[in-house]
Amino acid sequence: MEAPGRIWFGYIAAVGIAVIGLITLDPLAFGLAVVVLGATVLGEWYRGRQAALALAAQNADLPELVSRWARGWAYARGFPRPTEVPGGVRVEVGEPERRVEWVVTDDAGTLAGLVDTVRATPEAWLSVVTDSPGSVRPWFAEGGLVAGEAEEALMSIGLADHASRKLPEGYRVEVERDGGVIAVTVRSDADADADADAAAAGGRIAVIGTDAVADRIQTDPGHRRRGLGGAVMSLLVSAAREAGAVHGLLVASEMGEALYAGLGWRVEARLVTARSAAPRTSVESRHG
């Protein structure tokens, strides 16, 4: 039964019990009616509060969404808390060939200074969230940065609207929690004897306040097209909602975008990336 149906049932039950109390003059019935009515009112208030939080999150402007996503992404990967900068954040990634990354919106005043800063910083990345990737790439070229070919998508959803997908038969799931980071690993029953460490699919989600940021959603090539990605996302979202999250954020690769869109996620903007020096391997999708 959906939440509105449960709420109306609560009111009807409270009235019914009160009527029985009137007929039987039973004080216990009156007391039970008060308890049921109180629980129903509290449930309706809580549902309204969650809906208001989700709506406020959805109506946030792009710089705020970028900042919120970056905080959750950094938390999911164990990076230090991002530092706020004009138009976005600076993340101390600390990985080979990617020591630091700026994630910002496409404000021209912001990009003008950042392109020079990134070019002068070893192992630095610049990710720009924009509605017009084609207008950002000239900044990379003119600033001497090496641009990646892939475009990613910043996506969001009200978690109550997330579609539910069941885990297919022949698979089992493991859920681990480390603070606000929830990790889901799916294993195949057929692989149980061959390799106990093999994972068919998995991912994680970081809960910060009412936000949940999904990260590293992956499916082994040998287990694709079986619905495992959707099942992993459903499990992560369910766990995040239990932890108090109402709004989801992620950055999706081109391949992942179709999966998330089918689950109800919507694109807020595109993300293009460049770096300060030519890498030994190309700049590729790194997020969802």
CATH of the domain at 185: 3.40.630.30
Helices and strands per DSSP (H, E), number in the chain: 7, 12
Q: With contact defined as beta carbons under 8 Å apart, do 4 and 12 qualify?
A: no
pLDDT at 149: 87
Residues 6+ apart with CB under 8 A from 257: 153, 155, 267
Instruction: Report the number of distinct structural domains present in the chain.
Output: 2
Q: Which is nearest to 117 in space by CA: 108, 107, 125?
A: 125
Residue 96 C-alpha from the chain's centroid: 26
On whether residue 180 sits in a domain, the answer given is: yes
What is the rounded CA–CA span in Å between residue 92 and residue 250? 19
What is the rounded CA–CA span in Å between residue 66 and residue 60? 10
Q: What angle do CA 27, 33, 34 make, to 5 degrees?
A: 95
On whether residue 149 sits in a domain, the answer given is: no
DSSP-assigned beta bridge partners for residue 231: none
On whether residue 224 sits in a domain, the answer given is: yes
On whether residue 116 sits in a domain, the answer given is: no
On whether residue 41 sits in a domain, the answer given is: yes
pLDDT at 34: 74
Q: Which is nearest to 211 in space by CA: 248, 179, 236, 243?
A: 248
Q: With contact defined as beta carbons under 8 Å apart, do 257 and 153 qualify?
A: yes
**Residue position matching structure tokens 């079986």:** 226
Counting Cβ atoms within 10 Å, is residue 109 exposed (0-12), middle (13-18) or buried (19+)? exposed
Question: What is the pTM for the complete model shown?
Answer: 0.76
Query: What tens-digit pLDDT sequence spans the chain (288 residues)?
Result: 334 445 556 667 767 776 676 677 667 766 776 766 677 666 665 555 544 444 444 445 899 999 999 999 999 999 999 999 988 999 999 998 899 999 999 998 889 889 999 999 999 999 999 999 999 999 999 999 999 988 999 999 999 999 999 999 999 999 999 999 999 999 998 865 555 568 999 999 999 999 999 999 999 999 999 999 999 999 999 999 999 999 999 999 999 999 999 999 999 999 999 999 755 444 545 556
Structural domain span for residue 165 = 158-269
**Residue position matching structure tokens 């996506």:** 155
Q: With contact defined as beta carbons under 8 Å apart, do 67 and 88 qualify?
A: yes
3-state secondary structure of 236: helix
pLDDT at 32: 75
Residue 252 C-alpha from the chain's centroid: 10
Rg (CA), the chain: 24
On whether residue 198 sits in a domain, the answer given is: yes
pLDDT at 7: 53
On whether residue 7 sits in a domain, the answer given is: yes
Strands 152-158 vs 83-85: parallel, antiparallel or unpaired: unpaired
3-state secondary structure of 249: strand
Q: With contact defined as beta carbons under 8 Å apart, do 275 and 145 qualify?
A: yes
On whether residue 210 sits in a domain, the answer given is: yes
